[in-house]
Structure 1
Amino acid sequence: MATERTRAWTEFRRMILWIALAGVLMVAGALWYLSLYDALYPSAIAATIGGVFISTLLGCGLFAAAFFSDKSGHDQSVTDATTHDEQQ
């Protein structure tokens, strides 16, 4: 069980690093796209960075947390606890 959680934690950290890299690339792409059609103002840059990066991290991070929960055994322990209560 401990090795399963350790492996899941290592994989979760690796997923978070890839998600952060994807967020940076998406911000760069969004800023490049915006620069094609209009001048970039500091407020537009800040809003784009905040909106795109935070949205990417939040959305992908929640999926990564769900995968971590499943792979680390947390979901199974909850399932076991609730089925044990129903049998009594």
Structure 2
Amino acid sequence: MTDLLTPEEAATRLSVCTKTLRRLRQDGHIRYVAITDRKIRYRPEDCDDYVASRARKAPECPSTSRKTRRISTSTSSSKVVDFTARQARRASAQR
């Protein structure tokens, strides 16, 4: 017979809190053993199977499909004005 894990032990094994483990069980994501209606236990292999089912692999990104970023000298369609030149024009307009 396999040793059964308490919810606290299973949560520790999965690095989640007991509330998260309960939600995983209720949503049907992880298998469990119902000793009674209120006494729930987990088999270590069921915890391992859950972890294996959540493993993901990042998609490969070939270097030829990378988008190149356009480099622009202006930040928008508006003109970039020199601050000191603008100040000089304002000062001359006020005279």
State the TM-score bracket (shorter-chain normalisation): under 0.3
Greater fraction of residues in helix: 1
Larger Rg: 2
Greater relative contact order (Cα < 8 A, sep 6+): 1
